[in-house]
Amino acid sequence: MKKTGLTMEQHRELGRKLKGMQRDVTHTQSMLVRAYPIKDGYERRLQAIENHLWKIRSDLENAMSREHPSDEWDLDVYYGKLDE
């Protein structure tokens, strides 16, 4: 069975989740940087998580554009404001 990727609705849902995760990691990182010395390494490890989330969002946006080449998709699915 050939894998066909995600529907547009699935991309939208996943985009919301990933944007929320990124927001939460950034908030946590800010909180920990204010509370603990850099040498404790929290900032560095959370930055690595944030970088991975950006890469995942970028890769999924590329997959979405291949799977749905029509005007159906837009940049805000994985980027832009988080619609809660």
Q: Is residue 1 part of a domain?
A: no
Tell me what percent of the residues of the chain surpass a pLDDT of 90.
Answer: 73
Q: Which residue has the higher pLDDT, 72 or 21?
A: 21
Model pLDDT for residues 29-54, shown as the tens digit of each residue: 999 999 999 899 999 999 999 999 99
Angle at 26 between CA 22 and CA 30, to 5 degrees: 170
Give dist(CA 80, CA 42) in Å, integer. Answer: 27
58 touches 77 (CB < 8 A): no
Q: Which residue has the higher pLDDT, 20 or 84?
A: 20
- How many domains does one find in the chain? 1
Q: Would you state the pLDDT for residue 2?
A: 87
pTM for the model stands at 0.85
Q: Which domain holds residue 45?
A: 8-77
Other CB atoms within a 10 A radius of the CB of residue 39 amount to 8
Please determine, for residue 71, whether its predicted confidence score (pLDDT) is greater than 70. Answer: no
